[in-house]
Structure 1
Amino acid sequence: MNRSPRWRVALLASAAWLLPLTASAAGSNEPPISQTACSFTGMLDELRTAMKSGSPAYRKYVKARLKLAGRVMPADELLAAVQQERDADVLEALGAAVADKASFSEDASLLQPLLARAAGDSDPALRAAAVRGMKGTGSVDAMGKNGNVVTYEQLIRDSAPEVRQAVVENLVHENAKVYFGHDKAVSETAVAAALASKDPEAATKLLTEVSMEQVGHDTAEKLRGNLRTEHPGLRAASATALGGVPSEEAASTRRSLVDLYRNDKDPAVRKAALQGLARLGMGGASTTLESLRGVAPGMDAEIDAWQSALKLGLQEWHLLLREKERIRK
């Protein structure tokens, strides 16, 4: 595999933790070459400098080097730094290094200091930084292995919007980039967090951007129940989410979305119900959509757009949605 020069520099720097302090060239009269281990304190000082005044590229490099070094260095210093750090940017970078080490070593208990700060620090900026430190890892699984003492369902109730935003970003990213939409636990955690949230914007983003293809019956039932919530944005988000549930949930979900379209007076909710039905049935959705024509005459153009898009025979949902939006313009 090809590596960039920057990656090789980071690898060499971190490898100093594994090398002896002295080495000599075999068969040479040259004096031994002295090697100095890469100091954690030095890396931490460089990280602080980079976070304050470094370019984006330099900050990225320093954080990557810390993560790589963290895999092989003793855990004590790294965990102590996580517990003591008071700068949000530095804590986030340290958290990422700890989360990476926990994943690399398969020791989820290493996350405990980071989880404690995410849930209990008095400074909301530091709570958010601790949450962001877990981004891009199997954080849902790691929380479970730590006994679910701290969960995203708990963290999304935080009074600080930056903490709630960090929760949403973590779950959306973990779903899309770590598990590519195929992990049941992440999807169900996202639904649980959305339903626990008092922040409609955060809940809406979770329900509309996290894949539902692996959710179980109980979670699908909760989503169908949420179609009756008082908040129209959340009814619409739940309808959108239900379009992606597994095939064994299709019949019950179709009935729920049809009822939603017939009875809800909010145009945005009705639009979401049509989208959910189209995604749920794909090529077979045409009959269901046609049965709803005239229920809300102002929405018939939306039905027409879906019918035209469905006739194209596209098998990928994102392509079908794109064509429908193009037709509707």
Structure 2
Amino acid sequence: MTRLFPRMNVLPTLALTVGLLAPALALAEPPASSSEAPTLKAGTCSVEGLMGSIRRGLGSKSEAYKLYLRTLLRESAVNLPLPELQAAFEREYDPVMVEHLAAALVARTERGLEDEAMQAVAKRALEDRDPSLRAATIRALRRTGALERTGDMYERLVRDPSPEVRQEAATNLVEDNRHVYGGRDARAADTAVAAAAAVASSDPKVTTQILGQLMTGEISAGSARTLEQLLRSDSAEIRAAASTALGGVPVAEMTNARQALLGMYRGEQDTAVRKSILQSIAQLGFAGAVPELQRLRGVDPSLAPEIDSWIRVLNMNLQDWSLIQREKQRLQQAR
């Protein structure tokens, strides 16, 4: 897989300093009556000591301090004994603390240490009886390389009985696709499409959540066919999301996607879906889509202004899709 960030063997200066100091320092409890940053005092660092400081620190009014605590545990994880860290994770039942400990375990694997550290988190995400704890562990896996190391975990999580768990898994698929792989990894995109399709009938919200935000520039031909099939869904939200996803397909799939969208537009009755189709036709063709859009103008008179806006923007010959979207939004606001 192509990840946007390299495997980090050297931590940032601050993180490295924290890691080196961790065995000799423990955090003081934050002042109860203020949000001031705490002072440091000498002590013996351990998993239990850090967790005690973090547990107390969660009562602080300072969000920056709470973030610091989470970062401290994650950065210190490489210097803490894995058995102690994993045991603390397995016996913890506070969702916030579970997420902190899970993030520390994931950090060990991400930095080239034991694969089993992340596997322990994935196992709890799949098997814990408490859905709030399953959701917490999923959040700890967000924007990491978990997709590469956890097999079919996400395909299983989107079928979880808990709506919260399914939504967290969907968020991970979208954010990993965008922020870890930059939309440039076929397996990450294909996994997301497969997961979205798997729950199209049981949880349309999750399907819509994934497809409406997914970068599809590297999907396979099979995934493109899956998106085309979802254009026939009974759910208007899924049809709109699938239409949006088809707008970003690879060059090899553009012709099929454009034909599917053009054929769908005339029979579609939902205005929101039709708008999504128009956007994707514009994205697939840029200025070359103008003739196709002009031919669609009379199908639904209420959407003629929408089509005219797209034609106007595309005729500017902007070469970047984000610039086209921005200009289109500006025209909408000016109407």
Q: Is the TM value for this pair above 0.5?
A: yes
**CA shift at 1:54, angstroms?**
5.2
State which structure, 1 or 2, has the greater radius of gyration over its C-alpha atoms: 1
Distance 2:308 2:18 in 1: 60
**1:119 — aligned with what?**
126
Distance 2:203 2:58 in 1: 30
Report if aligned partners of 1:16, 1:38 keep a CA contact under 8 Å in 2.
no
Instruction: Give the aligned residue type for 2:216.
Output: M
**1:291 — aligned with what?**
295
**CA shift at 1:18, angstroms?**
7.8
**1:13 — aligned with what?**
18
Distance 2:224 2:80 in 1: 44
Distance 1:40 1:106 in 2: 18
Compute the TM-score of the two structures, normalised by the length of structure 1.
Answer: 0.86
Indicate whether 1:304 and 2:312 are aligned.
Answer: no
Structure 1 stretch displaced more, 274-283 or 73-82 = 73-82
Aligned 1:56-205 pairs, distance under 5 A? 56-105=63-112, 107-144=114-151, 148=152, 151-197=153-199, 198-205=202-209
Report if aligned partners of 1:13, 1:38 keep a CA contact under 8 Å in 2.
no
**1:4 — aligned with what?**
none
Report if aligned partners of 2:189, 2:219 keep a CA contact under 8 Å in 1.
yes
Distance 2:246 2:114 in 1: 35
**CA shift at 1:16, angstroms?**
4.3
Report if aligned partners of 1:98, 1:110 keep a CA contact under 8 Å in 2.
yes
Distance 1:56 1:76 in 2: 30
Structure 1 stretch displaced more, 195-204 or 311-320 = 195-204
Aligned residues: 303
Report if aligned partners of 2:143, 2:179 keep a CA contact under 8 Å in 1.
yes
Compute the TM-score of the two structures, normalised by the length of structure 2.
Answer: 0.85
Distance 1:106 1:125 in 2: 28
Indicate whether 1:245 and 2:249 are aligned.
Answer: yes
Instruction: Give the aligned residue type for 1:237.
Output: A
Report if aligned partners of 1:51, 1:90 keep a CA contact under 8 Å in 2.
no
SS of the aligned residue for 2:217 comes to coil
Instruction: Give the aligned residue type for 1:13.
Output: V
**1:23 — aligned with what?**
none
**2:38 — aligned with what?**
none
Report if aligned partners of 1:11, 1:65 keep a CA contact under 8 Å in 2.
no
Q: Judging changes above 3 Å, is the alpha-carbon distance between structure 1 residues 252 and 52 closer, same or farther for their aligned structure 2 residues?
A: same
Q: Judging changes above 3 Å, is the alpha-carbon distance between structure 1 residues 102 and 289 closer, same or farther for their aligned structure 2 residues?
A: same
Indicate whether 1:40 and 2:44 are aligned.
Answer: no
**Identity, % of aligned pairs?**
38
- 5+ long unaligned stretches in structure 1: 1-6, 20-34
Deviations 1:23-67 (A, max 9, x none): xxxxxxxxxxxx965222111111111224452111111111111
Q: Judging changes above 3 Å, is the alpha-carbon distance between structure 1 residues 75 and 15 closer, same or farther for their aligned structure 2 residues?
A: same
- 5+ long unaligned stretches in structure 2: 1-11, 25-41
**1:25 — aligned with what?**
none
Instruction: Give the aligned residue type for 2:20.
Output: A
SS of the aligned residue for 1:313 comes to coil
Report if aligned partners of 1:188, 1:219 keep a CA contact under 8 Å in 2.
yes
**CA shift at 1:8, angstroms?**
5.7
**CA shift at 1:192, angstroms?**
1.6
Instruction: Give the aligned residue type for 1:115.
Output: A
